[in-house]
Amino acid sequence: MDFLPPDISAYSEAHTSPESELLRQLNRNTQARMLYPRMLSGHIQGRLLAMYSKMLRPRRILEIGTFTGYSALCLAEGLADDGTLITLEKDDELEAFARSYWNQSPVGHRIDLRLGKAADLIPTLDGPFDLVFIDADKENYSLYYDLVFDKVRTGGIILADNVLWSGKVARPVGQGRTAAERRADKDTQAVIDFNRKVSEDPRVEQLLLPVRDGLMMIYKH
């Protein structure tokens, strides 16, 4: 996911508003304790999510994929005074870790965690949502987009993470000889298909930002 030279990345972080102490601790402990810490949004992307949320002042946010709760805290920073963020996570073993940080935040009480498969949970949710953040299993990105689209208000925003997939979207997808390689190809093709789907959707305008692992910003007409 490191597309920029290290010195440029360091310069960008140095000139970006810092993480709060709570987010810094959450970032550090995710890196130290979790098997796939790269799934955490991190400093630059976290500040970008918070900035989008503060500009929109959403009343309702939906996050698909919670992980350790970092991005939820960032997005919740911009909620309207009566706002709520619903976040969906299939791994119930992450709940205690995420809540331990949410409970220390002044916006933590606005985060509503729903455990289960997103494909099962999304149809049970009532819209409209002002902002949706898709950051879950890549294989189902297109499905999540379809399930949530009618629940997003006109003028609302959908954000999708990892749409550059470590640069693999720009390279041909091979067959892969091992199970891991075949799985990687499957995820890469899913992200390619999602990006194409959004680009060909006349109901939206989209902007693919080469931030971290790629962030797609989608505006619903």
pLDDT (tens digit, 9 = 90+) per residue, 136-173? Answer: 999 999 999 999 999 999 999 999 999 999 888 988 77
Radius of gyration, alpha carbons of the chain = 17
**Domain ranges across the chain:** 6-220
Task: Judge whether 148 and 28 are in contact, CB under 8 Å.
Answer: no
> For 81-110, what is the mean pLDDT?
97
Average pLDDT score over the chain: 93
Flag whether pLDDT at 179 surpasses 80.
no
> For 84-104, what is the mean pLDDT?
97
| Residue bearing the bigger pLDDT, 34 or 179 | 34
Lowest mean pLDDT among 106-120, 121-135, 166-180: 166-180
Q: What is the pLDDT at residue 175? A: 54
Residue 131 exposed, middle or buried by CB count within 10 Å (0-12, 13-18, 19+): buried
Question: Which fold does the domain 6-220 belong to in CATH?
Answer: Rossmann fold (3.40.50)
How far is 173 from 12, CA to CA, in rounded Å? 32
Flag whether pLDDT at 180 surpasses 90.
no
Residues 6+ apart with CB under 8 A from 53: 61, 74, 75, 76, 77, 78, 79, 131
Q: What is the pLDDT at residue 38? A: 84
- What pTM, to 2 d.p., does this model score? 0.94
Q: Which residues of 20-42 are buried (b: 16+ CB within 10 A; e: fewer)?
A: eebbeebbeebeeeeeebebbbb
pLDDT tier for residue 202 given thresholds of 50, 70 and 90: very high
Q: Tell me, what DSSP letter sits at residue 71? A: H
How far is 108 from 69, CA to CA, in rounded Å? 10
Per DSSP, the three-state class of 54 is helix
How far is 17 from 74, CA to CA, in rounded Å? 13
